[in-house]
A and B are shown apart, each in its own frame.
Chain A
Amino acid sequence: MKALLPFLAVVFLVLLVIAGVKAAGLYFVFGVLVPYAAAAVFLLGFVYRVVKWGKTPVPFHIPTTCGQQKSLPWIKPNGIENPSGTGGVVIRMLLEVFLFRSLFKNRKTKMKGEYLTYAWAPWLWLSGMAFHWSFLFIVIRHLRFFFQSVPVPVQAIEHLDSILNWGVPALYITDVIFLAAVTYLFLRRVTLSQVKAITLPADFFPLFLLFGIGASGVLMRYYTRVDVVGVKELVMGLVSLHPAVVSGIGTIFYIHLFLISTLFAYFPWSKLVHAGGVFLSPTRNLSNNSRVVRHVNPWSYPVKVHTYEEYEDDFREKMKMAGVPVERE
């Protein structure tokens, strides 16, 4: 049930494009205005979110330490899982951002007979990696639409991606991985009991959106061919700030573009901002050096304490009886 409304929302978006482009011929709206608006919302929204986090202080030094601390010189510290300096933090963050290291540690807790067991459970890590990396490759491939002559690295990635050389046009491996990963991420939300229990409609919406984007892209490339030259002309117009309506591209392209625009506009206001947030996480991006270097809390204020003098006043006689030295006899 939680999946139904987000699903209908994405269907509605698709119908909106069909109505707008095919029936009403609003090419300028869907080809120019919407992408510009979405890009603006994305940029401003993302910057707003990151600045808002960045401006919020980190009052305490709270890294989660996952390895041996640096203490005595003869004990080997774990400089990455428990970094004592910036270098270690950088490596820890790189591993986190590029390889999802923490997620890789995932274990499934089960009761087997008398014992709790912790079996390695890499599926979430694997699907997460598959999704994010294939998405990145696909985005890079799309850069061919943003440059007059396709940059060499983009060509290299295209070449790599189609190395299987299956079919005409050659199948991109990342297309398959992307759709498979999104499908898996959806399926685990409707089948795995624990994941089902935590899922909100807002978790389904981006999945349907991403699936719609992937599916429309695949349709365009492998089945209902669109006018690629026209697409490039439109995109180049957009990026060079000389937007022009190009006719005869095909509605499917506008569906693709609109769903991407929706994703962009939705991004900063949803859980998708984890993409920026991960860099600012104080349990990961701080080194474990709080006994070596003083961490300052910018909003620290004096607090009321019970002083030693007050304490001695309360207990002077008892202290003297017990032979504990006092300040004032």
Chain B
Amino acid sequence: MAKEPKKEELLQSISYKAPKTFWMDTPTEIKPGMFCWGAKAKSLNVVGLPNARDWNPTEEDWKLPENWQEILIEGLRERLDKYRSLRLFLDICVRCGACADKCHFYIGTGDPKNMPVVRGELMRSVYRKYFTTPGKVFGKLAGAREMDLQVLKEWWTYFFQCTECRRCSVFCPYGIDHAEITIAGRELLNLLGLNIEWIQGPVSNCYMKGNHLGLEPQTIVSNVEFMVDDIETLTGIRINPTFNRKGAEILFVTPSGDLFADPGTYTCMGYLMLFHELGLDYTWSTYASEGGNFGFFTSNEMAKRLNAKIYAEAKRLGVKWILGGECGHMWRLVHQYMDTWNGPADFLEVPKSPITGTVFENARTTKMTHIIEFTADLMKHGKLKLDPSRNDHLKVTFHDSCNTSRGMGVFEEPRFVLKNICRNFYEMPRETIKEQTFCCGSGSGLNAGEDMELRLRGGLARANAVKYVHDKHDVNMLANICAIDRASLTTSMNYWVPGVTVAGVHELVANALVMKGEKKRETDLRGEPLPSAEEEISVEARAVAQAEGEKLGGEANV
């Protein structure tokens, strides 16, 4: 692993003044700390992806098939005919530059090739050469270039320096989404076995064992048992979650990161405590034990192959509907892809909260509801006894995840929940939240160890906005609804804004949740001492919920 750069040095190295040489004439450097290791033969073989061999990106020879150019160009042709987004976005960019400084990787590196428009040009230049008349006739003058080894290495470098966050597409006057370019670019690279191991490893794990981390069924059970023990210590209440239980009303699916390491495990304890308190008839699955999908960072087909487990398991277990945990890209896929890939889920029912009776009409066809929608509904109906003072030691801000923001529009639900469970909430600057939110810097499978400098650079924009509220309001807790955020923002905060910790919203929900028959809580879920003794607060919480509900334009039906 490359040495982590010093904070001051890193900041000083960023310049937004473009270098003298045009990007097309600037050779690509594969720098330590800025790239991930190549996919291993065994990981590619598990799922039958081509050109499986061990290779090293820093070596000259990438062990490519003889006719790699042909494979790539034919692959591009196929995708141009399959995706209007790709063909259109390659055709209509006018290079106005509105997207240039909107990318967190550009902001953190100053590298022109990280301007979304240039990321697009990496592919567009090749597209021109092989698929357009001006490009064929005028060549470089028309911005066209041959697909050679140098270009291939450039593609590999920069398509793995994009987290598919879609911030560029918010500002583009034509809605050009460079995630679509990156997605296609990675698919093409995968035709040559050029994935990164940090993605390919989890993909093969997920395929065989049901989750990215490769947790086998007995490990999942024991990991949850550990959490159940901790919950008992904390509350005096013994929870008995079930696994692969047929006939349960609800199947719960969450990213496996929540089962594995903190702070994700605290979020998971939050789910367990909430569901127990509600007496929810739900089950975990060890087979569909992954909400996330690194297949999506490999190819559309791979994503579909991994995603298939969710509906298949829901059908096998005979549940009525599916509840999904806190995760970013998982939710973009559930929301925009899952039904198209593996639906129709006509064996399921439209999700209905057994507690409030609310029918989630917005999940009418997918039959899958986001836990933040589920919990917001509970709070709106006053179904939870909450003591927000248990979060008084926290000054909270909320990080909108890229995917739930720009691929769904989940903005008010988490804010409503947070305002019900903590009394110190501060927003980051408007240009850095909601649809304009910044990526954690490590999305789309780039949260490895060996590319730490890239991640810290990519995380700068988000961290800087946190720093702002940390400096101004002493914010010390960065709440979010994404498993990758929980892991990667922790790293980013330790580097950029020490003193700020990271938590899933449902960890904070569980802190505030007053459970029936619980003993007096001395600490929060992390074992930190609580600031003050419990107060009789549920009445106040209901009032807050009612006021918030009215502010959001709904009727006060608490």
Contacts and interface: CB of A to CB of B under 8 A. Distances in A.
Interface of A: 5, 49, 52-53, 56-62, 64-78, 81-82, 96, 100, 102-103, 105-111, 114-116, 118, 124, 128, 188, 192-203, 269-271, 273-274, 277-278, 280-284, 288, 290-297, 299-300, 303-308, 311-312, 314-315, 318-319, 321-325
Contacts of B408: 65, 69, 288
A75 B245 CA distance: 34
Indicate the member of A75, A192, A315 with the most B CB atoms within 10 Å: A75
Contacts of B298: none
B88 interface: yes
A53 B217 contact: no
Nearest to B558: A74
Given A61-B336, A61-B340, A269 B373 contact: no
Nearest to B304: A303
26 contacts: A61-B337, A66-B409, A67-B411, A69-B409, A69-B410, A71-B360, A71-B410, A75-B553, A102-B98, A103-B96, A110-B16, A116-B465, A124-B96, A128-B96, A197-B112, A269-B133, A277-B88, A280-B84, A299-B82, A306-B208, A308-B316, A315-B286, A319-B244, A322-B217, A322-B221, A325-B243
B329 interface: no
A294 B84 contact: no
A266 B413 CA distance: 49
Given A281-B92, A283-B169, A294-B344, 11 more contacts: A71-B410, A75-B553, A96-B173, A102-B170, A102-B175, A195-B96, A202-B141, A277-B91, A290-B340, A294-B343, A322-B221
B309 A69 contact: no
Given A64-B166, A321-B218, A72 B376 contact: yes
A contacts with B: majority SS: loop
8 closest A-B pairs by beta carbon, nearest first, are: A74-B554, A69-B409, A197-B18, A76-B553, A277-B92, A118-B431, A283-B175, A65-B409
B362 A69 contact: yes
Interface of B: 11, 14, 16-19, 22-23, 48, 80-85, 87-88, 91-98, 100-102, 107, 112, 115, 117-118, 121, 132-134, 141-143, 166, 169-177, 180, 207-210, 216-218, 221-222, 243-246, 286-287, 300-301, 304-305, 308-309, 312-313, 316, 334-337, 339-341, 343-344, 358, 360-366, 368, 373, 376-377, 380, 405-413, 416, 429, 431-432, 434-436, 460-461, 464-465, 467-468, 549, 552-555, 557
A14 B22 CA distance: 30
Given A203-B95, A322-B217, A62 B177 contact: yes
B447 to A, nearest CB: 22
Contact of B100 (A76, A198, A201, A269): A198
A78 B435 CA distance: 12
Indicate the member of A74, A78, A282 with the most B CB atoms within 10 Å: A74
B contacts with A: majority SS: helix
A292 to B, nearest CB: 5
Nearest to B98: A106
Nearest to A314: B208
Contacts of A82: 409
